Chains A and B, each alone.
Chain A
Amino acid sequence: MSTILEINNLKKTYNSGDRHLTVLEGINFTLQAGDTCSIVGPSGSGKTTLLGLCAGLDRASSGSVILNGVRLDNLSEDARAQVRNQYVGFIFQNFQLIPTLTALENVMVPLELRGERNVQREAMDLLARVGLAERHDHYPTQLSGGEQQRVSLARAFSNRPTILFADEPTGNLDEETGEKVEKLLFDLNREAGTTLVLVTHDLELAEKTQRIIRIKGGHVVSDTGAPERVQQPEGSNF
């Protein structure tokens, strides 16, 4: 097993004027390939901020994020974008499909970005896998929320990521649809053997991951289900 994500002493501060707001502090954890993990906590506790940092969407104030062996905080925005394209998949609360592209095209984007050709087959297969093959040429506005989220699932897996980040993937969906999407997410994840980081309010959903990290006021207050390897990881030695 190899380390996919390693977070060391992470701190995030927002400065507005002369006010400093520390949103996250002293965060440490490590995820191995294939791990599933959820981050839970009250609103405003810093979950989204943490996710953004892990995925390399934002820069930490101090500490480090090592994703698949690449230390993100040293990289330029463009280099991080390339890391994301190669290793990372995303699912958002509000789906974030590109409104001008059809369902199929949305799924194709991460592959096309890599410069791959003839990716239509692969994308169609994924769409079929989430049950939307019929709707491939529909635009996001023509799809329901649940359907949009399923397209977004197909897109997230299209570049065969090593790690998947999901921020409240069912937050905008009703219970029934939410459950369907959840099931799909876990199924796909299991099939692909992807590492999963999930941010949610929904404790029931959180229970479905192996590990639950609770944060409050920017600190980790508990980390349950973590295997006993909660020690200083090997990554800190270089």
Chain B
Amino acid sequence: MSNNKPNPDKPRLNIPWLLKMAWRDTRRSRGRLLLFLSSIVLGIAALVAINSFRDSLQLAIDEKARSLIGADLVMGMNKEPDSLSLAIIDSVSTLGERSDENRMMSMVYFVKSNDTRLVQVRALEGGFPYFGAIETNPVEASLSFREGKRALVDYNLMLQYEAQIGDSIRVGAVTFAIEGALHRIPGQTAMTAAVAPVVYIPRQYLPETGLIQRGSRVSFYYYYDLNESVQPDTLANKLDPRFEEYGMFYDTVETRKASMGRSYDELARFLALVGFVALLLGCVGVASAVHVYMRDKLATIGILRCLGMSGKQAFLVYLFQVMGMGLIGGIAGAALGSVVQLILPELFKTFLPVSVDAYFSVTAATQGVLLGVIVSVLFALLPLLSIRQVSPLITLRATVEHLTNQKDPLRWAVYGLLLGFIVVFSRWQLGTWWQALYFTGGVIAAFLVLALLAKGLSWTVKRFFPAHWGYVWRQGLANLYRPNNQTLLLMVSIGLGTALIGTLFMVQRTLLSEVSLSGTENQPNLVLFDIQNSQREQVADLTKAEGLPILYFDPIVTVRLEQINNLTLADVRKDTTLEIRPRNFTREYRVTYRDHLSDSEKTEAGEWSEGQYKGADRVPVSLEEGYAERIKVKVGDSLVYNVQGATIPARVAHLRRVDWNRVQTNFQVLFPEGVLEEAPQFHVLMTRSDNEQQAAQFQRRMVETFPNVSAIGLDLILRTLEEVVSQISFVIQFMALFSIFTGLLVLVGSVNVSKFQRVQESVLLRTLGSNKKQILGITLMEYLMLGILAAAVGCVIAFGAAWALAVFSFEMEFVPVLWPLLIIFVLVTLLTVVVGLLNSRGVLNRPPLEVLRREA
């Protein structure tokens, strides 16, 4: 008799056979496994689609980079160049060819249709663009318009005002013939074209138009086609300090590429995050499904253990299954994502400066497949770990609880891994560790809230069980806490899904409501700006003559900030711990001066009684409180402003709260009277017309009399904005769809999974003589309770998340729109109940015995 002792140190793993076992073992549950994995497919698809699109976009930007700015180097400034800046501008001209352009917002007048419209006028001289083309119809118009009093007009404007080629358009005092329709300008997106439609005129007629006045906001652009020997970036870097000093900005192909890449990256990142949330939701589904699946596999594992399989081997068999599942899910997700990305360029069309050809991104697809394997394994690890502890004893005695060994130290390692994965992955998608931590924290908080609630619910029902209630009610309620209940899993997955979808809807509503609080009664709906000092009185008279009220009439002066309590731009750049963004120094502020507060302003600190500057040493200014917070000043602190060359030392005398939601001119900085009166400035007038005809007639009169004064109706602004927001929200909704469908799949999955538990009991009840109605009632009770609770908590979380996003991320007033939440609440609850009932239908309609045999 062989008495060789087994060698516990060297257990043979026999991987090939384990793989075979893993495959064989899926035989009777492939359908179910497919359902499990489907919940990760959509999340992966979303991520793969966004990441492939990102790659395609980057490729397109790289390929077409030069045509994005149409020149080797662009320099520009927002004021008329002085002799110093002119010296630079001219010296660079010696290195190649130059083309000049002026840009300003101005009214144009469509002669035939007798309409006026605010546009961006670009007065162009020279050979721009040197790369790419201004796309026009007819094609040659982009060149030929430079030869006479001819203009290129934005294609959509032409449609809107029914203008034909050859029609007349008046810009300022000059009438131009429309030479062609403008389709695309290098580097411009359809979105910017919609916000500020462009009219090109030859620059030689600009003075004649009379648009340039003192204080007019005109930008000056210089495009260079540099000689081969000149490296644009080297040149720009060399000139950089001087550019900054003179208030000039510049762009090269490389800087444009970088900034463009950055901004689209941010968009893609945000969308990828939405996809990631969908994936996480799917992962919850996978985790819960695997948990239940493992419970079903206990018997098999017990037998295998009994026959001599080691814990590690058993663990591997199911690990392989999960890996295979993740692999298939990853491949399916990558395939779906690669298909979805084909339609993304169409979806993003209005945001893109270049046409993008979607191509299959191997990197993104590979990442998707890997992600599928990684997330399935990670999220299945907890239930998988417990396999190692399954006792072979269950072959003899099926009653012992075998799957709950909470003491396994490896469980903590898995929790750590999960956490690490979410942080690292969101870091990868979001770009900063802080954001990643916030995101992870939010997700975990939501998890904990839901899990605690589920526990609390079970406990409460058990503790305060309504023993005198009817049979059906009692049975339904008892299902919430009895062994093998699904309360926790369903609460977490349904609740999280609801929270996610709710948040998306709420945020979108908030964004949109920001736009639509427009044109309410007695609010201004027509704005005139660029009014010169000398025109002030006459414009006011004309307005009154047209029977329109003057609601607001403010002077506007452009200033820059030079110092905050002796700190300069250089200081805040050097010391980031100051937490003052350099942008506060580099940007321009449009400020006004008056001796009183408007009715949308409220004093928060200090006084604004002085109003009139009497020549004390520092000028008292009033700041909007949010702005004061951003530049870290309080009442009494000192600031130095630069008003077009002249420095003005100021002192924070007053903090205001401004109601930004009012349609009127609001300002971050308010000066007293007696300081800025002589500075270059223009005035803004706000009025209200009662109907469109009146508004149109008023605008025509204004353009006729004061060609340099611009007018814009708020309805136009609002319409444009609404268009923009709806474009954005469409894209977000599209991404949210992935989450919604994932949520649905998880819901179907988890309810379906709990069916395997419920079916046995229901059949037993039925065998014991319960009738159809009672069993239906019990099931209804259980899912109704779960649905209501999970959906309600999900909605509360959504509300909190939307609030936090609105306040902290978008920095805007939170608008608590409740109806989307209500709809989501009702829908989720209904869906839970319906899916639950549909699943138990099988029990009701078949004879008990058949079901018992099937499910055994």
Digit string of B300-333 for contact with A (CB within 8 Å is 1, else 0)? Answer: 1011111111111100000000000000000000
Task: With both chains docked as a complex, state the minimum distance between the C-beta of A84 and any C-beta of chain B, in angstroms.
Answer: 5
Task: With both chains docked as a complex, state the minimum distance between the C-beta of A92 and any C-beta of chain B, in angstroms.
Answer: 6
Is there an interface contact between A84 and B24, defined as CB atoms closer than 8 Å?
no
Separation of A39 and B14 alpha carbons in the complex (Å): 37
Separation of A83 and B3 alpha carbons in the complex (Å): 11
Is there an interface contact between B308 and A92, defined as CB atoms closer than 8 Å?
no
In the assembled complex, which residues on chain A have CB atoms less than 8 Å from the CB atom of B21?
Answer: 112
| Chain A, range 90-114, C-beta contacts under 8 Å to B | 90, 92, 96-101, 105, 109-110, 112-114
In the complex, what residue of chain A is closest to B26 when comparing beta carbons?
A100
Is there an interface contact between B307 and A113, defined as CB atoms closer than 8 Å?
yes
Task: With both chains docked as a complex, state the minimum distance between the C-beta of A235 and any C-beta of chain B, in angstroms.
Answer: 13
In the assembled complex, which residues on chain B have CB atoms less than 8 Å from the CB atom of A75?
Answer: 8
In the assembled complex, which residues on chain B have CB atoms less than 8 Å from the CB atom of A76?
Answer: 8
Is there an interface contact between A58 and B391, defined as CB atoms closer than 8 Å?
yes
In the assembled complex, which residues on chain A have CB atoms less than 8 Å from the CB atom of B28?
Answer: 99-100, 139
* B307 in complex: contacting residue of A51, A109, A167, CB < 8 Å: A109
Is there an interface contact between B309 and A98, defined as CB atoms closer than 8 Å?
no
* B395 in complex: contacting residue of A33, A96, A139, CB < 8 Å: A96
Is there an interface contact between A78 and B396, defined as CB atoms closer than 8 Å?
no
Judge whether B416 is part of the interface by a CB distance below 8 angstroms: no
Is there an interface contact between B17 and A112, defined as CB atoms closer than 8 Å?
yes
Is there an interface contact between B311 and A78, defined as CB atoms closer than 8 Å?
yes
Task: With both chains docked as a complex, state the minimum distance between the C-beta of B9 and any C-beta of chain A, in angstroms.
Answer: 9
Task: With both chains docked as a complex, state the minimum distance between the C-beta of A80 and any C-beta of chain B, in angstroms.
Answer: 8
In the assembled complex, which residues on chain B have CB atoms less than 8 Å from the CB atom of A57?
Answer: 306, 391-393, 395-396
In the assembled complex, which residues on chain A have CB atoms less than 8 Å from the CB atom of B304?
Answer: 98, 109, 113
Task: With both chains docked as a complex, state the minimum distance between the C-beta of B306 and any C-beta of chain A, in angstroms.
Answer: 6
Is there an interface contact between B396 and A82, defined as CB atoms closer than 8 Å?
no
In the assembled complex, which residues on chain B have CB atoms less than 8 Å from the CB atom of A98?
Answer: 25, 300, 303-304
* B14 in complex: contacting residue of A77, A84, A99, A115, CB < 8 Å: A115
* B24 in complex: contacting residue of A70, A100, A115, CB < 8 Å: A100
In the complex, what residue of chain B is closest to A85 when comparing beta carbons?
B308
Q: How large is the interface on A (under 10, 10 to 19, 20 to 34, 35 or more residues)?
A: 35 or more
In the complex, what residue of chain B is closest to A1 when comparing beta carbons?
B1
Separation of A130 and B764 alpha carbons in the complex (Å): 35
Task: With both chains docked as a complex, state the minimum distance between the C-beta of B850 and any C-beta of chain A, in angstroms.
Answer: 12
Is there an interface contact between B393 and A113, defined as CB atoms closer than 8 Å?
no
| Chain B, range 382-414, C-beta contacts under 8 Å to A | 391-393, 395-397
* B299 in complex: contacting residue of A83, A96, A105, CB < 8 Å: A96
Task: With both chains docked as a complex, state the minimum distance between the C-beta of B847 and any C-beta of chain A, in angstroms.
Answer: 17
Separation of A112 and B11 alpha carbons in the complex (Å): 14
Is there an interface contact between B8 and A110, defined as CB atoms closer than 8 Å?
no
Judge whether A81 is part of the interface by a CB distance below 8 angstroms: yes
Judge whether B5 is part of the interface by a CB distance below 8 angstroms: yes
Digit string of B13-38 for contact with A (CB within 8 Å is 1, else 0)? Answer: 01001000100111111000000000
In the complex, what residue of chain A is closest to B392 when comparing beta carbons?
A57
Is there an interface contact between A84 and B396, defined as CB atoms closer than 8 Å?
no
Judge whether A217 is part of the interface by a CB distance below 8 angstroms: no
Digit string of B690-719 for contact with A (CB within 8 Å is 1, else 0)? Answer: 000000000000000000000000000000
Is there an interface contact between A48 and B396, defined as CB atoms closer than 8 Å?
yes
Is there an interface contact between A69 and B3, defined as CB atoms closer than 8 Å?
yes
Is there an interface contact between B396 and A92, defined as CB atoms closer than 8 Å?
yes
Judge whether A52 is part of the interface by a CB distance below 8 angstroms: yes
Judge whether A79 is part of the interface by a CB distance below 8 angstroms: yes
Is there an interface contact between A110 and B1, defined as CB atoms closer than 8 Å?
no
Is there an interface contact between B308 and A100, defined as CB atoms closer than 8 Å?
no
Is there an interface contact between A70 and B853, defined as CB atoms closer than 8 Å?
no
Q: How large is the interface on B (under 10, 10 to 19, 20 to 34, 35 or more residues)?
A: 35 or more
Task: With both chains docked as a complex, state the minimum distance between the C-beta of B394 and any C-beta of chain A, in angstroms.
Answer: 9
Separation of A101 and B299 alpha carbons in the complex (Å): 13
Is there an interface contact between B397 and A82, defined as CB atoms closer than 8 Å?
no
Digit string of B276-305 for contact with A (CB within 8 Å is 1, else 0)? Answer: 000000000000000000000001101111
Judge whether B6 is part of the interface by a CB distance below 8 angstroms: yes
Task: With both chains docked as a complex, state the minimum distance between the C-beta of B855 and any C-beta of chain A, in angstroms.
Answer: 11
Separation of A209 and B662 alpha carbons in the complex (Å): 98
In the complex, what residue of chain B is closest to A92 when comparing beta carbons?
B395
* A78 in complex: contacting residue of B24, B303, B312, B853, CB < 8 Å: B312
Task: With both chains docked as a complex, state the minimum distance between the C-beta of B88 and any C-beta of chain A, in angstroms.
Answer: 79
Judge whether A68 is part of the interface by a CB distance below 8 angstroms: yes
Is there an interface contact between B309 and A33, defined as CB atoms closer than 8 Å?
no
Is there an interface contact between B6 and A90, defined as CB atoms closer than 8 Å?
no
Is there an interface contact between A96 and B8, defined as CB atoms closer than 8 Å?
no
Judge whether B12 is part of the interface by a CB distance below 8 angstroms: yes
Is there an interface contact between A167 and B396, defined as CB atoms closer than 8 Å?
yes
Is there an interface contact between B310 and A90, defined as CB atoms closer than 8 Å?
no
* A105 in complex: contacting residue of B14, B24, B307, CB < 8 Å: B24
Digit string of B838-856 for contact with A (CB within 8 Å is 1, else 0)? Answer: 0000000000000001001
Task: With both chains docked as a complex, state the minimum distance between the C-beta of A195 and any C-beta of chain B, in angstroms.
Answer: 11
Separation of A101 and B313 alpha carbons in the complex (Å): 17
Judge whether A120 is part of the interface by a CB distance below 8 angstroms: no
Task: With both chains docked as a complex, state the minimum distance between the C-beta of B396 and any C-beta of chain A, in angstroms.
Answer: 5
Judge whether A86 is part of the interface by a CB distance below 8 angstroms: yes
Separation of A77 and B303 alpha carbons in the complex (Å): 14
In the assembled complex, which residues on chain B have CB atoms less than 8 Å from the CB atom of A48?
Answer: 396-397
Separation of A132 and B209 alpha carbons in the complex (Å): 103
Separation of A54 and B329 alpha carbons in the complex (Å): 45
Separation of A230 and B794 alpha carbons in the complex (Å): 70
Is there an interface contact between B12 and A115, defined as CB atoms closer than 8 Å?
yes
Separation of A81 and B25 alpha carbons in the complex (Å): 20
Separation of A98 and B395 alpha carbons in the complex (Å): 11
Is there an interface contact between A84 and B307, defined as CB atoms closer than 8 Å?
yes
- From known contacts A82-B11, A113-B308, infer whether A100 and B300 are also in contact, taking CB-CB under 8 Å: yes
Separation of A91 and B736 alpha carbons in the complex (Å): 54
Separation of A51 and B395 alpha carbons in the complex (Å): 12
* B300 in complex: contacting residue of A77, A85, A99, CB < 8 Å: A99
Task: With both chains docked as a complex, state the minimum distance between the C-beta of A117 and any C-beta of chain B, in angstroms.
Answer: 9
Task: With both chains docked as a complex, state the minimum distance between the C-beta of B22 and any C-beta of chain A, in angstroms.
Answer: 10
* B303 in complex: contacting residue of A33, A96, A112, CB < 8 Å: A96
Separation of A68 and B2 alpha carbons in the complex (Å): 9
In the complex, what residue of chain A is closest to B29 when comparing beta carbons?
A100
In the assembled complex, which residues on chain A have CB atoms less than 8 Å from the CB atom of B14?
Answer: 112-113, 115
Judge whether A149 is part of the interface by a CB distance below 8 angstroms: no
Is there an interface contact between A96 and B310, defined as CB atoms closer than 8 Å?
no
- From known contacts A70-B5, A75-B8, A141-B853, infer whether A81 and B392 are also in contact, taking CB-CB under 8 Å: yes
Central interface residue in B3, B7, B26, B856, by most chain A CB within 10 Å: B3
Digit string of B708-734 for contact with A (CB within 8 Å is 1, else 0)? Answer: 000000000000000000000000000
In the assembled complex, which residues on chain B have CB atoms less than 8 Å from the CB atom of A96?
Answer: 299, 302-303, 306, 395
Task: With both chains docked as a complex, state the minimum distance between the C-beta of B322 and any C-beta of chain A, in angstroms.
Answer: 16
Judge whether A162 is part of the interface by a CB distance below 8 angstroms: yes
* A90 in complex: contacting residue of B299, B300, B395, B397, CB < 8 Å: B395
Separation of A109 and B312 alpha carbons in the complex (Å): 16
Separation of A99 and B392 alpha carbons in the complex (Å): 16
Judge whether A237 is part of the interface by a CB distance below 8 angstroms: no
Is there an interface contact between A81 and B1, defined as CB atoms closer than 8 Å?
no
- From known contacts A58-B393, A78-B11, A82-B8, infer whether A90 and B307 are also in contact, taking CB-CB under 8 Å: yes
Known A86-B308, A96-B306, A162-B1; 16 more pairs at CB < 8 Å: A33-B1, A58-B391, A76-B8, A81-B305, A82-B308, A85-B308, A90-B307, A96-B395, A98-B25, A98-B300, A101-B25, A105-B24, A109-B307, A110-B308, A139-B28, A141-B853
Cβ-closest 7 pairs across A and B: A85-B308, A79-B8, A82-B6, A78-B310, A100-B27, A84-B308, A57-B392
A sample of 27 inter-chain contacts (CB < 8 A) reads A2-B3, A48-B396, A52-B396, A70-B5, A75-B8, A76-B8, A81-B308, A81-B310, A82-B6, A82-B7, A82-B310, A83-B6, A90-B307, A90-B395, A96-B299, A96-B306, A98-B300, A98-B304, A100-B27, A101-B24, A101-B27, A113-B308, A113-B309, A115-B12, A141-B856, A159-B307, A159-B308
Residues on A close to B: CB < 8 A? 2, 33, 48, 51-52, 57-58, 68-70, 75-79, 81-86, 88, 90, 92, 96-101, 105, 109-110, 112-115, 139, 141, 155, 159, 162, 167
